[in-house]
Amino acid sequence: MTKRIDSLEKSEVENMFSRIKAEIGNAAPDGELRQLIATMPAALFIKDAQSRVLLMNPACVALWGIPFDAMRGTDGAAFFPAEQTAHFLKHDRIAFDSGEYTVYEEELWHAGLGENRWLQTHKQAIYDEQGRPKLLIALCADITERKHAEG
């Protein structure tokens, strides 16, 4: 990642979410949207209604330290400590159940670095025509340096 993002402005994230939501439909993103997702400096991931990872952009792969091919179709339980996985899944449910845009801070184990990193995570749920949870679009930024400076 050539540009480090310490935090994301809500309007910036909402614009990205709106574009992704408008274009994603029932299929995986392609063309211009796929290129946008691949080149954005913010870590983006998309999960299904069961919190299984469907998509991660390269910035997310770098931030999490886990290849997409390993994460695809999983809830991440094999890669993160149990308490972190439970926390991630709880916040997925909150986003799905509330239908609201959610933002929070959390720790994520980065096996490649051998340490926890602090993330600011933004989540927005998408629903099908019957109002059932369909997808969870999420962006996260590494705020570890900021958290360490706060003491």
Tell the residue number behind the tokens 């989540």, with chain if given: 123
Supply the pLDDT for residue 50. 96
What are the extents of the domains in the chain? 10-150
Give the torsion sign (CA, 57, 47, 77, 85): positive
Supply the pLDDT for residue 65. 95
Per residue in 69-122, pLDDT (tens digit) is 999 999 999 999 999 999 999 999 999 999 999 999 999 999 889 999 999 999
Q: Which CATH architecture has domain 10-150?
A: 2-Layer Sandwich (3.30)
Tokens of 16: 């990205």
